[in-house]
A and B are shown apart, each in its own frame.
Chain A
């Protein structure tokens, strides 16, 4: 039996092409348990693709991805089981609009975790409380603000008791005044010790919460270091130029 990996996520030599377009050009990348890693980089650099490869929403072209030491690029890998252990939060929230907030949170618990209805509802309500939305149990997504919808989406992912959470620009679709409430929930998760991988343009959040910041450009990891260093004193010219653009 293979020695269990020390990493929650371990990406080796990951390549991903869409037809002729090579989007990921050999990514090596790790996340330790309990670590918060922020991924930054210009539009089109492959950040979303990397995230989506990690839970196999995209099929990697080559390379390997180990989640808790288990190779998920293996053809026999249990992809559904894997995904249920990785919470994913999307830029566009992607709540189920035809279901109430509580039903959004219980659906996968019932179908995938096979929990009893009673237990699923208990878990759902506990997680809604965690994101500060105990008063919206029966609301429908269309009646919530963007910030509230994103917090429901986070609670939905948390209801599966994931080992780690991935966020793909969770605040980019929000009005500026709603960004804070979502980042607040994420900060809470980080202090609780959740393993997190966050694609974001919120440099303030990265600086404050991340253990490590990864800068990607053109399908490769250009550099990675603790936030203070990468954001204030980047080693590479490309990183410096990017940071000047966003600041």
Chain B
């Protein structure tokens, strides 16, 4: 007699567990644990990294993220409004911008801002300007689409109600539509924030001084000078300490949004 679906599934899962356990055991037996401990979990080296890993590296990562996110939000809102404009050239400009900067590798844009523009225009901007623009220009392109979706998600009756009270289109946008649109997109915007935190690791290409290193650069430099992987583990943990609370927050907000419907 053929097995029932439920039984077959249970058997399949049992086989999978056995395979996982066997694989895990094999790794544990084959691995050289003293070597691993020395190279990945060197406590002395880890201890040496504090407090700089938090006070300099993590702080820089957070500052760079904040700058790029703020720029992306403001410029992204502008792009979203241009895409929704009744004026064709605005729509066309915004669409072109969004397509270009979503289509290019972020690293290329960062290089362009950091090296292309100084060469072309013989100017040197403050490193924070390069960082804000390098990441922010790309972030704006992604956020513009998210913000547009938020604005379009606000029911049409809201604009009509505001207009019927005599408010201009701009007034209605500013006090009625945009505040509601942003409420809808807090979860996806938080996701963009998490992506941006990770993308700050690309900024090393702009060149760093000890005071401007972000987390990954800080870890990599120690990896090179000390020939040991422990710094990567430490900065990895710091990244997760920043990103996991945010992704958890997104989950909570999404659940709340779903309930509010």
Contact = CB atoms under 8 A, between A and B. Distances in A.
A84 B161 contact: no
Interface residues of A, number: 27
Interface in A132-167: 142, 153, 156-157, 160
Interface string A82-99: 111111101010111110
Contact of B158 (A83, A94, A160): A94
A112 B179 contact: no
B157 interface: yes
Interface in B129-175: 155, 157-158, 160-168, 171, 175
Contact of B164 (A83, A96, A142): A83
By DSSP majority rule, is chain B's interface helix, strand, loop, or mixed? helix
Nearest to B165: A108
B175 A107 contact: yes
Contact of B166 (A92, A94, A160): A160
B169 to A, nearest CB: 9
Contact of A96 (B158, B163, B168): B158
A57 B183 contact: no
Contact of A112 (B161, B165, B183): B165
Contacts of A157: 164-165
B180 A83 contact: no
A80 interface: yes
Nearest to B156: A94
B189 interface: no
Interface of A: 55, 57, 80-88, 90, 92, 94-98, 107-108, 111-112, 142, 153, 156-157, 160
Which 7 residue pairs across A and B have the least CB separation, nearest first?
A84-B166, A108-B165, A94-B161, A88-B164, A94-B157, A112-B166, A83-B166
Interface of B: 155, 157-158, 160-168, 171, 175-176, 179-180, 183, 260
